[in-house]
Amino acid sequence: MTTLVAERPSTVQKTTAKRWVYLFNQLDELEATLPAADWDAVRARLGGKGANLAEMTRLGLPVPPGFIVTTEACNAYLTHDRHFPPDQWAQQLAAMRQLEALTGKRFGDPQNPLLVSCRSGAKFSMPGMMDTVLNIGLNDETAQSMVALTGDARFVYDAYRRLVQMFGCVVMGLPDEPFERVITEVKQARGVALDVELNAQEWQSITERFKGLIKGYKGSDFPQDPTQQLELATRAVFDSWFGKRAADYRTATGIPHDLGTAVNIQMVVFGNLGANSGTGVTFTRNPVNGGKELYGDYLLNAQGEDVVAGIRNTLPIAQLQKDMPQIYTQFSEICDKLEQHFHDMQDVEFTIEQGKLWMLQTRNGKRTARAAIKIAVDMTNETLIDRKTALTRVSPEQVEMLLHPQFGEEVKKAALDAGKLLVEKAVNASPGAAVGQAVFDADTAEKWAKAGKAVIMVRPETKPDDVHGLIAARGVLTSRGGATSHAAVVARQFGKPAVCGAENLTINVEQHLFVAMLDGHAIEVHEGDWLSIDGSTGEVFLGQLETREPDFARELELKTLLAWADTVRKLGVWANADYPKDAERAHRYGAEGIGLCRTEHMFFEQNRLPIVQEMIMATSKARRVAALEKLLPVQRKDFEGIFRAMAGQPVIIRLLDPPLHEFLPSYSELVQDLADLKVRLQHFHTLSEIDAALAEVRQKEDILNRVKALTEANPMLGLRGDRLGILMPEITEMQVRAILEAAINVQRDGISVHPEIMVPLSSHVNELKYLKQLVQTVAAQVFKEAGLVIDYSYGTMIEVPRAALTADQMATEAEFFSFGTNDLTQTTFGMSRDDAEAKFLIQYTELGILPTNPFQQLDREGVGKLIEMTVKLGRSTRPGMHMGICGEHGGDPSSIEFCHQIGLNYVSCSPFRVPIARLAAAQAALKDLI
């Protein structure tokens, strides 16, 4: 917020002449100062909006003239106690004189006034996050003369009240609600619903009341001096760079905070001059599904902010072909020219002033994940871009968004039959399914989300100040606004499902509820009630609908893009899969192998856990072996299913890793069960009841004693992994036999099998030697019994620092390394993941102590250095040694890039993240070519 001041603009002490201001038609002059034709440098200096306005001017398109105050001026202003840098204001006033010459109007002249807008424009598009002031130059005197000039008092006072309202909110820091209440009161008194139905006298009265609000809130008058208006608006735009919503948006999107914003001063053209005027926002392709069609909204007799603010429900752009066919044809041609020039889908703003088309902005359009993928593939096929460019146009996060859960038709039909449909058809503004509790303001959405709640933010329309709530929410629902409203644009960017313009909803923000009218029935929904919204169809349901996995086979454009990625990437992409169904999904998603099959997960299934517990409870080796013999055929069948699913691709199977106590009930649970049994025992009367209860007591006591015997002070660093396999070799023998017998059975069916046996948690080469002898002995027995020999590999996980530090020794026994980055991160940092994430990791990242959560994004400086050291040491002993990672980091794009840089062979991740990893690996390879 900028405070009104009476003094003239202050500057820091002049030190050297520097160019702070460029007219739209002076782009060549700026480029002449750069070392080479560098559009990125132009955007950095002029901001994206200013650079594109200058480029459209150079292309000869109808752009209202104007000038740009550079991002460098903003940064100088912000770092010098909010003083303009030397010569900036003088250059700005000089540019106004040049603008007057270009337009034939004069700024502040009552006889022929020049009105300008003051808009932000950073290097990277931040739609609605910073401030705008329109109609600067209007005051009491120029308003009266404009009435005489135009003969349209309604238009003049509608424009004047917009200036006073924007100035009050943006420059002077007043809340928007008091202004909106005034308009609502006047409309109610007249009995009309829309702003356009108010007449000249009413807008003049509203303007006076607005000026009174400013006087009442701030104790000072709305400034009548146009030059002072311009100065204060410029300051306000500079200041908005560090406004909360802008800072939140940059944090969420990874935009640096030190870029600054340019200020764009542009002659105002008016879309509210009658039925032959209008304004709109349009995308050159459909930003929801990527279709090659104009997609957007417009309003007749309106000014620009009316469309994006969502305060009026808009008309689809196709309707303009009927309303103004010549304008529509010209506009379509310009959209095509812009797309051809910028080689990307454009988001354009336009105004029609008394039958003349003006282009106010173009920028690369925000789009959904589905649209991003389709547009990239289509533009490649149209030869607008090449395949490498297409691969950089889609982010791994967008691939993840596309594969988010959806509502099945049968689930929606059941909800419909149960009378839970609230909105039948609104604007399907951003696709996907979202389920959450209704909240009615951004702060509550953020607060509840931080507490772990799923929320749907419900608003009449969203404003830029709501962005933190939009980021936190699972989805957004509005009763007003169209496909290019603020809610729609921001939701699409962040992959949030959105339903907008649900006109059958009456939303009461103050009372935290809304009423849905459907078929004459009113349904009241309160804060905290569950909603399910379908941003793909525009439907809204009451309650929690079940979601389902999307059908990857139908995502043809995504499959095409990933096929291109596979030709570029160097890293293999494997998957973590514990069951045949997981392996089948991984194979469908393009995995080239299984990098981690965790055998212990098979043990937890209901029909197997009792056998595992029998093995653990065994008091002798013979009994333990007998229990393991029951597990052998079950485990062998699982491995056969995985081998068949992977159809000849490599499969790494990790031997049993967790401590045995994890397969037994907890100590506290057993103590409670025993206490309950002994209480119930007192109420039994028959001998059979008492005997049964006593038998159960003895069984529970035996388990409790075994749990006590297995109890360790720090079980995750105790008897587990290879240590357990060494002390209880019969477990390892059973698992190795199951692996190799399964491989032989599948190979006999004509399917090539490549099993790789992996030892977990090794820290000393002698552990590997001991277990390798055991594996080789079992393998020899199995091959002799089967009369068939298959190739297999023997390797280990690198999960503790000692294994990394002695990797050259470990490589004498291990044929491959797989980095278990979850445990390696824990042992390197000396922290338990569960405890750290629950107690302090969030605060560490918020305070900047750690840049990111190291369990989500690989710590390159610490853990990464150990991995890189391991690669070098291991390959010094065994040249070309095969290595990859199989922790959660295998699906993180930043971690994947690091794995590419240090020369790993593959990453292994969840089956659902395989498509993400394929694209991220390709993008990492493409960076080598830059």
Active site residues: 486, 886
Cα separation values, 313 from 300, 483, 486, 503, Å: 12, 10, 13, 9
* Alpha carbons 386 and 377: distance in angstroms, whole number: 9
Q: Are 498 and 429 in contact (CB under 8 A)?
A: yes
* Alpha carbons 371 and 557: distance in angstroms, whole number: 10
* Alpha carbons 179 and 164: distance in angstroms, whole number: 10
SS3 134: strand
Write the burial class of residue 772 (CB in 10 Å: 0-12 exposed, 13-18 middle, 19+ buried).
middle
SS3 291: coil
Phi/psi at 386 (5° precision): -100, 175
Residues 312-318: contacts with CB within 8 Å, 24+ apart? Answer: 312/194, 312/195, 312/480, 313/480, 313/481, 313/482, 313/501, 313/503, 314/280, 314/481, 314/482, 314/484, 316/482, 316/483, 317/280, 317/282, 318/294
Report angle CA 398, 401, 402 to the nearest 5 degrees: 90
Q: How many Cβ atoms are within 10 Å of 252's Cβ, its own excluded? A: 16
Cα separation values, 903 from 765, 898, 900, Å: 24, 9, 5
The strand pair at 346-353 and 278-283 is best described as antiparallel
Sign of the CA dihedral with 610 first, then 616, 617, and 619 last: positive
The strand pair at 346-353 and 356-364 is best described as antiparallel
Phi/psi at 533 (5° precision): -115, 140
Cβ-proximal residues to 378 (8 Å cutoff; 6+ apart), any chain: 290, 292, 557
Which amino acid type is present at position 711?
T
Report angle CA 886, 888, 891 to the nearest 5 degrees: 90
Sign of the CA dihedral with 681 first, then 687, 688, and 694 last: positive
Cβ-proximal residues to 613 (8 Å cutoff; 6+ apart), any chain: 663, 664, 703
HSE-up (13 A, CA, CB side) for residue 412: 18
Which amino acid type is present at position 183?
I
Question: What tokens were used for 899?
Answer: 């794995």
Residue 758 forms beta bridges with which residues? 654, 795
Q: Are 487 and 500 in contact (CB under 8 A)?
A: yes
Which amino acid type is present at position 382?
E
Residues 722-729: contacts with CB within 8 Å, 24+ apart? Answer: 722/655, 722/759, 722/760, 722/761, 722/762, 722/767, 722/768, 722/771, 722/796, 723/761, 723/767, 724/656, 724/659, 724/660, 725/655, 725/656, 725/759, 725/771, 725/774, 726/767, 726/770, 726/771, 728/624, 729/774
* Alpha carbons 20 and 278: distance in angstroms, whole number: 33
Q: Are 541 and 491 in contact (CB under 8 A)?
A: no
DSSP string, 864-876: HHHHHHHHHHHHH
Q: What kind and span of H or E run contains 619?
A: none
Cβ-proximal residues to 11 (8 Å cutoff; 6+ apart), any chain: 83, 84, 85, 86, 87, 88, 89
Cβ-proximal residues to 762 (8 Å cutoff; 6+ apart), any chain: 721, 722, 768, 796, 797, 803, 810, 814
